[in-house]
Structure formats: structure tokens, C-alpha cells
Structure 1
């Protein structure tokens, strides 16, 4: 379960969540999920878990477009040209959304642009450009498509289930379910923990350095514990840890080298 409290006023997601709460579901079309499956969030001071199912999918393609400034060294202005206002509406809107409207502010910058199949049929820029040169009022750019990637647009049906009547109750439940106490620490282990607590960057073993025995032994206390936030299949993740009377939101990240050296 993704563990993330998103409070009231969470912008573009507010309407989605509000509709799901009031109407029992909310449907949205997008390439990526606007809210990850299993996200825990707050709406009107009640805690919910949001889940979705994909109910439809339609093909689309992301084109990585670059308009290189004509007149720059090596950039030719030869080839079929079109003025920006004469582009089909779909192309004008896609370019404007990427800083390539009038005037353009992103010449020379890769502009990923998502086109559905009907939009591609209306376009003069993709999939095969009919024009290589686009003229703005004071600028001219030469189109180059550097990459294209299948990017299906999925229809997701979201539902939300109440998991707690208030953030306070949910927080206490989370502490009860996940928090654990570090016990039996040696002096070296304490130094590692206190460095992680006090240091702005936490405690890190630099690349190329050997992993201290104190770190290895500390990790053994995390292995049987359940993570608050699941970020990987190994012990790396987010935990709630009690130490010296305080509760800490703790992020543990282990590299592949740690596991391989431990096994060896």
C-alpha cells in the first residue's frame, strides 16, 4: 500500500477524489495514474484509500520533438515550411503546451508531445512531418523527431474506501501497526543511529567504503519488520522506528552490493 496523506486542496486531484467520495466512483483518462493505486489520502478530514481499475485503453504515441533554431551553426532553413498560425489546431496546442507557442521559448529543447491516433491523422508534424520548418513571428525552427514511444491512454475507474474517521486516528493506528523499538544496541550501533538522526543527510556509507559491522547488525533488526511504505521487495523502504523515547520516520536504502557482500 502506498502511504501518502494528501490533504484538502490537492489541486488537480481534488475533483477526482471529491467525485469518488460523493458518487462512489470517478473515471479519468490519462497516460499515467494521477493517483497511485493504494494511496491513502485525506478528504474533508476523513482518511480514505484510493484504488483504481483500468476499464479501457486507446493507443497513443509520445513524440520527442526538437525545433532547432534556424540560423544557428549547422541548422539549415531548407525544406517545406509553414507559419505557426497555419498549423492545425492540434499541433499548435501541443507546441504551445511545451513552450513552443508564439513566441517560442523552448527552441532547442526536447518537447515530449502525446498524440492520439485521431490527433496524428490531423497533424502535419507527426508521425511523418509534412513540414520541417516552422516559422514564428521572430523565430524559425527546424523540426527533428528524436524519439517516439507507444503511450496508451488508459481509462481508470477510481473508488475510495474510508479507512479512518480522522487523520489522528489513522496516525495512531499506523504507529500501533508499524512502529518498533531498536533494542540491545552496541556503542557502535548507537553511533550509527545517532548519526542518522542528527545528520542532515542521514547516515551514508560512501561508494567504495566497506560496510561497518554495526550497520550490518542494525539491518538485521529491520528485516523482520513490516514497512510503512513499500518501495522494493528487499529490506529497503520506510519504517517507523522508536529510539531513546522518540519516534522516527526512517528511510533505509541498501544497494545490491550490500546484499551480495552479506551473502558472501
Structure 2
């Protein structure tokens, strides 16, 4: 939440801005690859499937020279296991924007107790506590850069980094295939360069052959894969929410932080993320 000023009672009772951190953290303590934190706030964009898919796009571009990328994800269907993301994977593995040949995605079993991102998020929390107060988004960015002893990369997204990614899943193909897998049964997804379908497994057994997951619409397949349009506009927050922060919390901040909140984008068309599900 921004601003983070919990020692002021007024901050506890004021609706604040949601800041997002989609972290990609390497496995193992001796990895030469730094954690990558992809960050933005709700004034820039929300947390719909296309927003999170845009985070994966930023991640793959950041590591575009790695030939094989393996990612472990939790089993949240709305965020990490959906047809929008799967459509994107086929686009991405066939894109000329990166050198990657294979993308493997594994999903933890539901109820798993720990993943490497948990440790990194703990380091971020410690860094924020050390700073004491997080007045604006620049402070939030700084706290993440200072976390994990500075061994971290940070990618700050703006409106031009978000794209209108969509699912191109064919309902007809699914109805025709009586042996189609259910999303909740998938534990391994693979995208290989040159293929216009995914490979999948419903078991962690490495000796089980991967099966074909052919789900794209014929109309999408017959054309060249094209990156969708940039959103190119800020989401904004409700004017009342901004005004409440300016009246109640901005006077408690150093003057150097005031302008961020005065310039914060607003929109009469958005709902408060506290009150709606955007998954």
C-alpha cells in the first residue's frame, strides 16, 4: 500500500494505492541470476490477466538471450494458469524478440509451503521496515533495490509496457477433443520454438511423454502472430480516493513527495480494486 505511514493513525483509515510486485526469483542461493522485480501501481494498470501477462512479457525480454527458461509457479489459475497466458507463450516462443528455444513452466502442488519468491519478498519487507516510511512509488522502488543486499534487478512498468493480451482459445477444439485436459490438472507446460501448440503433462514424472495441447483458433493460426496493441493509457484511481490521500496524508509527508500525489492519474470509469475482483 502507498503511502506506507503506519505510525500515523490517519494512514490506517485512509484508502491507499495498491502497489504490485511480480517477482521472478532464481532457485538456489548461489545462482548468478538476480531476482527480477517487475513493479507498478494501480494508477498505471490493474491486475487482470492481460496485466500479469504483460509482466511475463517484460520478464522474457529481460532474459531474451537465455536459450532455455524454466519457471516454477504457484497453482493460482486466475494469474498463472489461464488461456491468455498460454496463448502468449506460443506467441513469445515464436517471436524474433528473444533467442529462447524452450520455455518450461511447472506448477507447484496446491498447498506447497515454500518457494524462492517467499524469501525474496521477506527481504523486501525487511527493507521497507528499515526505511520506516514509504511516501511514494519512488520510495517503494528504492526499498526493493535495497533488498537482498542490493542483489536484485527492478523493472518499473509504465502504461506503454502493458498490452491487450487475449485468449485465442478455440471452444470448438475443446468440444471436439473428449480427452482434453482440465486447467487444474496441468502441472507442466512446455513451449518450443517452431510449434504452434503447447506440450503438457498432468504428472511430475519426467519419464511420462508430454502430450500435445492444440487449442488456438484456426483464424489465429493462419496469420502471423502479432503483438497486440499497447494499452497506452493510465488506469488511474477514483478522484475521491486521490483527494482523500492529498487532504489527509500528503500534509504529513516531506514536500519533496507532494508532487507525485498531485500528479497521480485519476479516472471516473474505474472501480476501486478493494471492491472488485479483476482476475
- TM-score category, normalised to shorter length: under 0.3
TM-score (norm 1): 0.23
Q: Larger relative CO (CA 8 A, sep 6+): 1 or 2?
A: 2
Greater share of strand: 1
TM-score (norm 2): 0.22
